[in-house]
Amino acid sequence: MKLLLKIWRQKDGSSKGKLVDYPIDHIEGDMSFLEMLDVLNQELIEKGDEPVVFDHDCREGICGTCSLMINGEPHGPDRLITTCQLHMRRFNDGDTIVIEPFRATAFPVLKDLMVDRSAFDRIQQAGGYISVNTSGNTVDANAIPIDKHHADESFEAASCIGCGACVAACKNASAMLFTAAKVSQFALLPQGKVEAIDRVQNMVRQMDLEGFGNCTNTGACEVECPKGISLENIARMNREYLMATVKG
């Protein structure tokens, strides 16, 4: 398969980037998208050029590290997968593929296709936890009965891998789906209810401080989320926030 890659190259966060054309040949349909970039980088290294910097880690769709905007969609044209799970058979011989970093003010570009997503870490640190004394007398979580419906919903919310596709897809670069998933996974469990008021208020406040946009309920985040996190979580976070405002 012969392709024309148009890849965003940017020296560092303070430099101005641009799309650079890279024709590439002999790409197999069974290669993953990241393997295709590996082939390109190998060619660039052999030619003495600087390889394209991009984030990757587990390459099996669970770590949330890979983060490419492929032809205008985060993680490419397929649904419920990450970039590392996207295969080249999805493209046709002769295609042009535009590859850009996830773009948001809160996700500054570090180099080429790699962005700094530590804003998500700070949102999580603001309240995405439960305070448990772990000094020797930890209570077994299973000692508290939880009905299956809520346990399943919580698990689904917790399956968010924090990749940032929701922010990348949203026309407003809103982080509501990520924050809502992290609020929801605790809000649905009895262990999470103790700190519910502070959690939602602090996480929403941190989300705003990071400079993410506002949710306008377009639903793009839900469609592009590789883990299928639904908009119901955003509604739950809104409810939690309203309740926290009334009670708090």
Partner 1 sequence: MSGLAKTSVARKVVMALSGLFLVLFLLLHVTINLTSVISPDTFNTMSHFMGYNPLVQFLMQPILIAGVIVHFVMGIILEIQNKKARTVRYVKYAGGANAPWVSRNMILTGLVVLAFLGLHFYDFWIHEMNYKFVQANPEDPTRYYAETVEKFEPMWRTLIYVVSFVLLALHLWHGFASSFQSMGINNKYSSGIRSFTRLYAIVVPLLFIFIALYHHLNPITH
Residues near partner 1, by CB under 8 A: 6, 8, 19, 69, 71-73, 77, 98, 100, 103-106, 109, 169, 171-174, 176, 204-205, 207-208, 211-220, 223-224, 231-232, 234-242, 245
Strand spans (E) along 12-163: 18-24, 68-70, 73-74, 96-101, 109-111, 114-115
Q: Which is nearer to partner 1, 151 or 235 (CB)?
A: 235
Tokens representing 87 are: 């295969």
Q: Which is nearer to partner 1, 124 or 218 (CB)?
A: 218
Phi-psi region of 56 (alpha: psi -120 to 50; beta: other; left: phi over 0): beta
User: What's the closest the beta carbon of residue 245 comes to partner 1, in angstroms?
Assistant: 7
Q: Which is nearer to partner 1, 160 or 207 (CB)?
A: 207
User: What's the closest the beta carbon of residue 37 comes to partner 1, in angstroms?
Assistant: 17
* Cβ-proximal residues to 74 (8 Å cutoff; 6+ apart), any chain: 67, 68, 102, 163, 164, 165, 168, 169, 224
User: What's the closest the beta carbon of residue 212 comes to partner 1, in angstroms?
Assistant: 6
User: What's the closest the beta carbon of residue 79 comes to partner 1, in angstroms?
Assistant: 9
Q: Which is nearer to partner 1, 41 or 218 (CB)?
A: 218
For 134, phi then psi, to 5°, come to -105, 20
Q: Which residues pair with 101 in a beta bridge?
A: 68
